[in-house]
A and B are shown apart, each in its own frame.
Chain A
Amino acid sequence: MEFGPGIWGPIVATAVMLLGVAIGYLLLSISRRYMVPKPSVEKLRTYACGEVLEPEEVHVESEQFYSPIRRVFKPFYRFVRPAHTGILSTYLLWVFVGFIMILIAIVVALR
C-alpha cells in the first residue's frame, strides 16, 4: 500500500524493518551462545581518577548534550533564549510586536 506521489510503501517498509530487527535479535542470541558475559562486581563499577563513582555521580548533565549544536546556533542562544525571561510585561511586549508584524503581513497579502 502506498500513499502520495512518492515511493514510500509503509507496509513493505515496516516488514523490512521487522525483518531487520529479527535478524539482529537472531545474531545477538547466537553470539550469546558462544560468549556469555559474566562481569565481576569490580568490572561493573565506574572508576574515575582512581575513585569509585556512585550512579548519581556519573549522570550526564542535561545541559551538556549537543553542545556543538548550541555553538552552531550561538546567536539564537545568546539573544533569543535569554529573552524568555518569565517576566509578564516582556511577554506582553512580544504579543504587541507580533500583532504589528501580523497586521503588516496581512495588509500586504490582501492588497
Chain B
Amino acid sequence: MIAHAPILAIVVPLFAAFLTPVVSIVAKRFGVERARDWFVVGAAILMLLIVASMVPAVWRGEVLVYKLGGWSPPWGINLAVDGLNLLVALIIASVVSLIAIYSVVYMERDNGLEKYYTLLMLVTAGCMGVTLTGDVFNLFVFFEIMSISSYALVAFRRNWDSVEAGIKYMIIGSLGTSFILLSIALMYGLVGSLNIADLAGKIATIKATQPLPMIVPLMLTLFVVGFGIKIAMVPLHAWLPDAYQAAPSAISALLSGATATVGVYAMLRVSYMLFGALAIGTMFIILGLVTMVVGGLMALVQRDLKRLLAYSSISQMGYILLGVGFGTAMGIQGGLFHLLNNAIYKVLLFMCAGAIVYRVGTSNLDELGGLGKNMPITATLFVVGALAISGVPPLNGFASKWTIYVAGMEAGQPICTAIAVVMSALTLAYFLKAINLMFLGQRPEHLREVKEAPPLMLFPMLMLAAFCVVFGILPGLGIDLVRPAQSAVMNQLGYIGSVMGAG
C-alpha cells in the first residue's frame, strides 16, 4: 500500500482542483491549453492508483484506520477504509479517470474550462471524502463539497435550461443536505460523538432500551431522505431528469456513475452500519419497486435521449434498493454488484449520448435516425450498454440482476422478483426504441455528413463496453470484487472493533 493512501486519495483531487486554474494560466501562456486537461487526467489516474494500492490489505479483511494528527478515535478525525468504501472509491476513481479522458475532446468547444475541471476535481474530492471518512460530520462536509460543485456543473453551459435545472437541483439538494446536518446535530446532542464506529456502538445501546426514543427513527429518516434525494429515490427524484438533461453529457455520466454511487454508499453506511437497521429492509424493497416502476414507465415515453437515460437511472436505483433491501448476503451482494454494473453501463450510455450530441448537436430522438451508418462504433457501444442495462445475457447487467432475482426468491419475495423481471423487459423495450430511432431507419438528409466520434472519446467508451462484456462472461470476477463490500455491510461489530481498537 502507498504510504498515507487513505488521505492521499482525498488530497490529490482536492489539490488538483486548486492547482487547475494555475496550470490553466501557465498552459495558456505557453499556448498548450490541452496541458490543463491532461493535468486533470493525470491527477485522476494517480488517485486511481492510490485507491488500488489499498486493495490487497482491505481484501485480506483489514479495516485501514488513518488517524489525522495522530488523534485516536473517537477523539480525532479518522478515515476508515473497509471493503464497502474501497469498492465505492474504486468505482469513483475509475469513472472520474475515464470521464476526464472523455472530457478532453468532448468539452473542447466550451469556454471556461479551467472552472469545469476545477469543479470536476472538487466533485471527485467530495465523493472520495464522503466515501473514506470515518466521521459523520466530515461526511456531511464532503457531501456538501460534492453537491455544491455538482450544482455548478449542471448549470455550466449557462443557458436557460441548465441554469433552471441547476437551481432546482440546488434547492432540492440543499434541503437534503440540511436534513443530514439536522440529523447529525440531533445525534451529537443524543450521544456526544461524531465518529461512525463510536456512534454505532452507542446507538445500538440506545436501541436496546424500551420504548425506543422517538428521536432515533427521526434521525434515521432525516438521513434516508437526505441521501434518498441524492440517489433520486421516488418520490425524491424530481430534480434528476432536468439536471441530467441540461448538464454536459460528461457531467451526466459523472452524476450517474459517481455521485449516485456515493449516495447509495452513504445510505448503506448510515442505515445498516451506523443504525444497524436491517429491519428497514422492507421499506427499501417497497421504495425500490416504486422507484423501478416509476422510472421505467416514465423512460418509456421520453422524446429526448438524455432524459430517457435519466429516468432509466432512477429505475436502476430501484434494483439496487431492492437487492440491498432483501438484507440477505446474496441480496446485498446482488445490490452492490448492480451498483458497480450500473456505474459502468450508465457512464457508457451517457458517453454515447454525448458523442451523438457532439457530432449532431441534439439528443432529441425525433431529429435523429440512421446514424448507425455514420457512427458504427458509437452505435455498437450504445447497443452493448443498452443490452447490459436491460439484463440481456451474457452482459454484466444480466449477472447482477440474476443475483438479485435469486436473492428475491430465496428471501421469499416472488412477487417483487416478478415485478423486477417485468421491469427489466420494459427497460429493453425503451432502449430498443432509442436504438431504432437513433441508429436504424432512414437517415435524414441533414445527417448524411455526420462523422464517427473522435478516438479520444471512443477510448473510454470502449473500456466501459469491455467491462460490460467481461463482468458478464466472468461474473465471478464481479462477485469477487463486491464480496468484501457485502461482508463489510453485514459486519457492523467488526467495523466498530477495528476502528475503536485502533486507538
Q: Do A and B interact?
A: yes
Spell out A's residues near B (CB within 8 Å).
Answer: 1, 3-6, 8, 10-11, 13-14, 17, 46, 54-56, 58-63, 65-66, 69-70, 73, 76-77, 80-81, 84, 86, 88, 90-92, 94-95, 97-99, 101-103, 105-107, 109-111
In the complex, chain B residues 218-262 whose Cβ is within 8 Å of any chain A Cβ: 218, 220-221, 224-225, 228-229, 233, 235-236, 238-239, 241-242
| Chain A residue contacts of B39, Cβ below 8 A | none
Q: Find the residue from A10, A107, A111 having the highest chain B CB count within 10 A.
A: A10
CB of B155, distance to nearest CB on chain A (Å): 15
| Chain B residue contacts of A62, Cβ below 8 A | 302-303, 365-366, 433, 437
Q: Is the CB of A105 within 8 A of B366?
A: no
Q: Find the residue from A11, A59, A86 having the highest chain B CB count within 10 A.
A: A59
Pull 8 A–B residue pairs with CB atoms less than 8 Å apart, ordered by A. Answer: A3-B399, A3-B403, A14-B393, A56-B445, A66-B429, A88-B172, A106-B224, A111-B211
| Chain A residue contacts of B436, Cβ below 8 A | 60, 65
In the complex, chain B residues 190-235 whose Cβ is within 8 Å of any chain A Cβ: 207, 211-212, 214, 216-218, 220-221, 224-225, 228-229, 233, 235
| Chain B residue contacts of A8, Cβ below 8 A | 393, 402
Give 9 new A-B contacts, CB below 8 A, not counting A109-B280, A110-B212. Answer: A8-B393, A11-B473, A59-B437, A62-B302, A65-B436, A98-B225, A103-B217, A105-B280, A106-B277
The residue on B at minimum CB distance from A8 is B402
Given contacts A59-B369, A59-B441, A80-B294, is CB(A4)–CB(B239) below 8 Å?
no
Q: Is the CB of A60 within 8 A of B474?
A: no
| Chain B residue contacts of A77, Cβ below 8 A | 297, 301
Given contacts A13-B394, A81-B301, is CB(A102)–CB(B225) below 8 Å?
yes
Q: Is the CB of A55 within 8 A of B393?
A: no
Q: Is the CB of B235 within 8 A of A98?
A: yes
Given contacts A3-B399, A54-B445, A62-B365, is CB(A106)–CB(B283) below 8 Å?
yes
Q: Is the CB of A10 within 8 A of B433?
A: no
Q: Is the CB of A46 within 8 A of B221?
A: no
Q: Is the CB of A95 within 8 A of B473?
A: no
Proximity string of chain B (259-278) to chain A, C-beta cutoff 8 Å, 1 when within and 0 when not: 00000000000000000010
- Bound complex: CA A49 to CA B176 (Å): 57
Of the candidates B220, B369, B474, which one forms a contact with A106 in the assembled complex, judged by CB atoms under 8 Å apart? Answer: B220
The residue on A at minimum CB distance from B271 is A106
- Bound complex: CA A76 to CA B211 (Å): 40
Q: Is the CB of A59 within 8 A of B235?
A: no
Q: Is the CB of A63 within 8 A of B303?
A: yes
Judge whether B493 is part of the interface by a CB distance below 8 angstroms.
Answer: no
| Chain A residue contacts of B217, Cβ below 8 A | 103, 106-107, 110
- Bound complex: CA A85 to CA B433 (Å): 24
| Chain B residue contacts of A107, Cβ below 8 A | 214, 217
Judge whether B343 is part of the interface by a CB distance below 8 angstroms.
Answer: no
- Bound complex: CA A107 to CA B200 (Å): 19
- Bound complex: CA A17 to CA B410 (Å): 29
Given contacts A70-B301, A102-B283, is CB(A59)–CB(B277) below 8 Å?
no
- Bound complex: CA A111 to CA B218 (Å): 13
Q: Is the CB of A109 within 8 A of B282?
A: yes
- Bound complex: CA A76 to CA B299 (Å): 13
| Chain A residue contacts of B294, Cβ below 8 A | 80
The residue on B at minimum CB distance from A54 is B445
Judge whether B472 is part of the interface by a CB distance below 8 angstroms.
Answer: yes
Given contacts A3-B476, A58-B442, is CB(A98)–CB(B228) below 8 Å?
yes
